Structure 1
Amino acid sequence: MAVAFCAIMLFMMTGCGDKAELTEFGFVQAVAVDLTREGKIALTTHFYNPTGGGETNAAVKQGQRGLNIRTEADTAFEAVRDIPIHFGRKAKWDHMRVILIGEEVAKSQSLGEVLDYFSRDHEPRATVLVLLTKGTAADYLNVDPFIEYTIGQQLRKIEESGSLYSAKTTKIPLLDLAIQLKSEAGVAVIPYVYSNDARKELTVAGIAMLKEGKLTGSTLTPGNTQYLLMLTDRYESGVIEFPCSGESKENGKESLEVVSLKTSVKPVIVNDTLEIRVRTKITGSVAELRCSSLDTKEKTKQFEDHIKKTVESGMRNMIAVLQKRKLDALGIGDQVFRKNPQLWRRWKPDWGERFADSRFVIEIEVNVLNTGMTVGNPFSK
């Protein structure tokens, strides 16, 4: 009797009333947000094409593994709900790789408003990466990927690898961007992507800076970007180039491979004035030598001092850019707020001016671990 009862209960638990077939969904890989001439949201959604080929179908082109659907509406949510009337499937956002924001959108609207749907809905992940595009964002979804299945995955890998190995861009997930947009200083940074029209190649390099959610001025060059990453302690690894010193300046540049870089930025308040103390410790290995010799401790110390001067000069140039634009992209305002909320309430209305007038004290330590497989002399010698 007990066996029969259990069997009946098992049959009752096998209902499929809430089942969903894979053929009901389209899996989103990327989305591009632009504006129409009328000011509406133009949403271009890039889907993975499951019948577009695989390892067993070499005749199918890489680009056919993704397809684009464009919808227009007054809000992002309405544009999303209009996808089925063109595509025949409901958009599934769990596997979205990147969100592309067009330049015109960032200039005219706050990104907090543009991204509200993607941060509020339960499907998009907080780890999805956000990029700002030069020109129209939808154009970038028409470029064929090099090695990945879709251009959405290709852009994500470019941003991740560029941030990890070159330090000429940074990786900003949706959650990190949301935190920056709500910071006390109201300054956020976002990776910048542009295209070489002649070769149809995409490059993720440089950083765009936002004030109160909107794009401000021009983007930072890749060269300046690495120094901003140093100052914000987001530098993972990369290469520091520096000119030959002394009488060998005409011999070009040398380089150091950065193994680790740690920075602490501390605001010091004295008599209603602000001094910002920056301490950076760099550990690296010699990557290229053209004119320097590191065969003695004295020469190695001179080499390290020369790198220190180069890095400090780059940092001060980056700080000068931020102070000229009155943009606290270093998070100093947040530190002042946490340390002294009452003082911050008094400083916040004119924080841009106060940040621009603040004094920076920079201390840098450089340690060269090794010179590679050869002795500490240029290979040419």
Structure 2
Amino acid sequence: MFINRKIFISLLCLGLLTGCWDQAELPDYGFVQSIAIEYKKDRFKLTTQFYKPAAKIASSGGGSDVSFLNIATEGDTVFEAIRDITTHLGRKATWGHMRFILIDEKTAKKVPLNEVLEFFYRDHEPRILTGIALTKGEAPKYLKTKPHVENTISQQLNEISKAAGEHSGKTYPATLFTLGKQMLSEVGIAYVPYIKEEKTAKDSVVVAGLAVLKDGKLKKIFTPQETKYLMIGLNELKGAIIEVPCGKDAKDKAETFEVVTSSTNWKMHTSKNQIQYDGKVEMKVSIGELRCSSALDSTQIEKLNNRVAAVIEMKLSQLLKKTQKERLDVLGVGNELYRHKTKKWQSIKQDWDKLYPKVKFNVDTKVNIINSGIDSGEPFKVGG
């Protein structure tokens, strides 16, 4: 049977192109899910969590249902400790599927995070949207926690930081991208979630507020409640519950309002001796619980609007005064000066730590209740 010469040559070339003789196979890789980093005794100690895909197959036959394994290494540098993973695992670590990075608070106080994380910014594999958080206590123990819903604690940590930021406003879901951008800003203030173990429940990790960094090092940890009002000031609030006390004589009672939308805009006014920062907060809320009020007509609704607005103004103003005492420009006033009044900023940048406490903040808040739920008139009263 005669075969066309051109077809024969084409088939021969295709045969030469097939095959992956110089490529690594799937069993050559270990897929990183998360990593915990500590700095102790002048050495970096890493605990790297890998996904264990064979776990489900084993569990169907009565084997272990653990879907991950942790490998501990250490070195003078993070990169050295990472390369030593192969001596334990027998596979090369691949970082393209990494979900989360954990760093303990002691390390964050000693070593700037831009130095700790340099490998992850320079290497081509890690995703720039990888989540990151600081931990209370040793970071590796969090990777031993059994997840509630997700297959690995790595994915659960990633999800709780996002959900807490979106629905409660009690943290800021940081990534390698947001952290790097903030650390490179003029004022060098950056934010990452702060997590801890819940003592009252086994295998429970909770978001416990926000860690504030300055020049890469940990300077302050805000409580979840403080974080909520910081998110309002930063115009980063997605959702939250605002608690409004019933009065000075009713400390055990509070009414709650769910944030539907929140918008904060700041305007700067400067003179030779004064910097003034005026904030306008506009918020739409819905009534969650009424314990000492009723919402029957427009007059009562307006009173509730004013009460919620007063709480927001008070809490945000208190928080800003606190940051001024600690010389932490959490709103990035210096960044705004750099963008809009560059020459002035260049002349005062070196003294900004001394000048920031003198900035005058004004907060004006407008709240609009758009949903009162089921309108039953008077608040529900047992036996009433």
Match of 2:9 in 1: 5
Letter in structure 1 aligned against 2:210:
I
- Using the TM superposition, give the Cα deviation of residue 57 of structure 1 relative to its aligned residue in structure 2, in angstroms: 2.4
Match of 2:298 in 1: 297
Is the partner of 1:291 in helix, strand or coil?
coil
- Using the TM superposition, give the Cα deviation of residue 277 of structure 1 relative to its aligned residue in structure 2, in angstroms: 0.7
Say if 2:147 and 2:203, in contact at 8 Å, map to a contact too. no
Instruction: Measure the CA separation in 1 of the matches of 2:204 and 2:255.
Output: 29
Deviations 1:222-268 (A, max 9, x none): 1100000110011100111111259x846711111111111112221
Match of 2:206 in 1: 203
- Using the TM superposition, give the Cα deviation of residue 291 of structure 1 relative to its aligned residue in structure 2, in angstroms: 1.6
Say if 1:281 and 1:366, in contact at 8 Å, map to a contact too. yes
Say if 1:251 and 1:290, in contact at 8 Å, map to a contact too. no
- Using the TM superposition, give the Cα deviation of residue 349 of structure 1 relative to its aligned residue in structure 2, in angstroms: 1.0
- Using the TM superposition, give the Cα deviation of residue 18 of structure 1 relative to its aligned residue in structure 2, in angstroms: 3.2
Is the partner of 1:53 in helix, strand or coil?
helix
- Using the TM superposition, give the Cα deviation of residue 200 of structure 1 relative to its aligned residue in structure 2, in angstroms: 3.5
Q: How does 1:147-186 map to 2 (within 5 A)?
A: 147-186=149-188
Q: 1:166 to 1:376 in 2, by over 3 A?
A: farther
Deviations 1:39-67 (A, max 9, x none): 111011011111222697285565x2111
Match of 1:27 in 2: 31
Instruction: Measure the CA separation in 1 of the matches of 2:151 and 2:88.
Output: 23
Report how many aligned residue pairs link the two structures: 377
Match of 1:332 in 2: 333
Is the partner of 2:315 in helix, strand or coil?
helix
Match of 1:367 in 2: 368
- Using the TM superposition, give the Cα deviation of residue 316 of structure 1 relative to its aligned residue in structure 2, in angstroms: 0.9
Match of 2:268 in 1: 267
Q: How does 1:209-220 map to 2 (within 5 A)?
A: 209-217=212-220, 219-220=221-222
Instruction: Measure the CA separation in 1 of the matches of 2:343 and 2:61.
Output: 65
Match of 2:195 in 1: 193
Instruction: Measure the CA separation in 2 of the matches of 1:195 and 1:224.
Output: 20
Instruction: Measure the CA separation in 2 of the matches of 1:356 and 1:305.
Output: 29
Say if 1:189 and 1:209, in contact at 8 Å, map to a contact too. yes
- Using the TM superposition, give the Cα deviation of residue 9 of structure 1 relative to its aligned residue in structure 2, in angstroms: 2.5
- TM-score, normalised with respect to structure 2: 0.94
Match of 1:18 in 2: 22
- Using the TM superposition, give the Cα deviation of residue 321 of structure 1 relative to its aligned residue in structure 2, in angstroms: 1.6
Is the partner of 2:155 in helix, strand or coil?
helix
| Matching of residue 243 in structure 1 with residue 245 in structure 2 | yes
Match of 1:75 in 2: 77
- Using the TM superposition, give the Cα deviation of residue 112 of structure 1 relative to its aligned residue in structure 2, in angstroms: 0.5
Match of 1:347 in 2: 348
- TM-score, normalised with respect to structure 1: 0.94
Deviations 1:313-353 (A, max 9, x none): 11011111211110001111111001111111111111122
Instruction: Measure the CA separation in 2 of the matches of 1:197 and 1:320.
Output: 32
Q: Which runs of 5+ in 2 are unaligned?
A: none
Instruction: Measure the CA separation in 2 of the matches of 1:243 and 1:202.
Output: 29
Q: How does 1:28-43 map to 2 (within 5 A)?
A: 28-37=32-41, 39-43=42-46
Letter in structure 1 aligned against 2:43:
K
Match of 2:224 in 1: 222
- Using the TM superposition, give the Cα deviation of residue 377 of structure 1 relative to its aligned residue in structure 2, in angstroms: 3.7
Is the partner of 1:19 in helix, strand or coil?
coil
Match of 2:314 in 1: 313
Identity %: 36
Q: 1:6 to 1:373 in 2, by over 3 A?
A: farther
Instruction: Measure the CA separation in 2 of the matches of 1:54 and 1:36.
Output: 38
Is the partner of 2:222 in helix, strand or coil?
coil
Letter in structure 2 aligned against 1:41:
F
Quick check: 306-315 or 50-59, which moved more? 50-59
Instruction: Measure the CA separation in 2 of the matches of 1:241 and 1:263.
Output: 19
Instruction: Measure the CA separation in 2 of the matches of 1:53 and 1:310.
Output: 51
Say if 1:189 and 1:329, in contact at 8 Å, map to a contact too. no
Match of 1:139 among 116, 141, 144: 141
Instruction: Measure the CA separation in 1 of the matches of 2:256 and 2:63.
Output: 43
Instruction: Measure the CA separation in 1 of the matches of 2:327 and 2:131.
Output: 27
Q: Over aligned residues, Cα RMSD in angstroms? A: 1.8
Is the partner of 1:200 in helix, strand or coil?
coil
Q: Which runs of 5+ in 1 are unaligned?
A: none
Instruction: Measure the CA separation in 2 of the matches of 1:362 and 1:295.
Output: 29
Q: 1:288 to 1:71 in 2, by over 3 A?
A: same
- Using the TM superposition, give the Cα deviation of residue 271 of structure 1 relative to its aligned residue in structure 2, in angstroms: 2.6
| Matching of residue 65 in structure 1 with residue 93 in structure 2 | no
Instruction: Measure the CA separation in 1 of the matches of 2:242 and 2:63.
Output: 42
Q: How does 1:247-258 map to 2 (within 5 A)?
A: 249=250, 252-258=253-259
Match of 2:359 in 1: 358
Say if 1:69 and 1:87, in contact at 8 Å, map to a contact too. yes
Say if 1:245 and 1:306, in contact at 8 Å, map to a contact too. no
